[in-house]
């Protein structure tokens, strides 16, 4: 714990202060890997993750009419890619995510390894994708990873088929 910059300095920065979870560390790495021009070099990890955070009031203000914002789709894609990466880190098995999202903000996300469906999620209100706190972002991603690993452990042969 404590290797993420800027978010473990104290409660003043964020209401969660034990945030250097493997999931968030992976998400930060994934985002930084896309910073091909170094535009975010001066940003702390907490800054990079800040866009994933929406308060209830902020959520409510986002209209669900019209196409979801490309930035929201980018974050959603990164979130699910990160779930796949952490599954891979923990099991050594490649968990490929496949997602479909309609322009109305509904869709599905599905993870498979070998012949096994390890995880699927129905996506709703994609326009308002976000989490109340970094802790909840981490919890949500980590729970998906744990669920997927439990399925892989239940059907180990299928996951390698």
What does residue 99 show for φ and ψ, rounded to 5 degrees? Answer: -130, 145
Q: Would you state the structure tokens that stand for residue 53, as one six-digit string?
A: 């955070």
Total binding residues toward a second copy, as defined by CB under 8 A: 15
Query: CA end-to-end span of the chain, whole Å?
Result: 36
- Cα gap 8→92, rounded to integer Å: 29
- For a second copy, which is the closer residue by CB, 23 or 129? 129
Does position 53 interact with a second copy (CB under 8 A)? The reply is no
Q: DSSP 3-state assignment of 140?
A: helix
Closest CB to a second copy among residues 17, 155: 155
Enumerate the β-bridge partners of residue 100. 108
Does 94 engage in binding with a second copy (CB under 8 A)?
no
- CA neighbor of 85 nearest in space, from 113, 114, 124, 121: 113
Q: Specify the stretch interacting with a second copy by CB under 8 A; choose among 14-22, 42-50, 67-75, 97-105.
A: 97-105
Q: Which is nearer to a second copy, 97 or 130 (CB)?
A: 97
Establish if 144 lies at the interface with a second copy (CB under 8 A).
no
Binding to a second copy by residue 150, rule CB under 8 A? no
Residues at the contact surface with a second copy, assessed by CB under 8 A? 98-100, 108, 110, 112, 114-117, 120, 151, 155, 158, 161
């Amino acid at each position: 714990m404590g290797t993420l910059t800027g978010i473990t300095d104290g409660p003043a920065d964020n209401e969660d202060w034990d945030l250097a979870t493997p999931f968030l560390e992976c998400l930060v790495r994934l985002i930084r890997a896309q910073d091909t021009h170094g535009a975010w070099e001066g940003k702390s990890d907490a800054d990079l993750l800040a866009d994933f955070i929406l308060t209830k009031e902020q959520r409510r203000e986002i209209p669900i009419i019209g196409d979801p914002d490309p930035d929201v789709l980018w974050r959603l894609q990164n979130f699910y890619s990160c779930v796949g990466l952490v599954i891979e880190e923990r099991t050594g098995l490649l968990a490929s995510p496949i997602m479909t999202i309609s322009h109305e903000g509904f869709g599905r996300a599905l993870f498979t390894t070998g012949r096994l469906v390890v995880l699927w999620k129905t996506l709703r209100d994609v326009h308002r994708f976000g989490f109340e706190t970094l802790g909840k972002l981490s919890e949500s991603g980590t729970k998906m990873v744990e669920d997927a690993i439990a399925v892989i452990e239940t059907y180990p042969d299928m996951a390698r088929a």
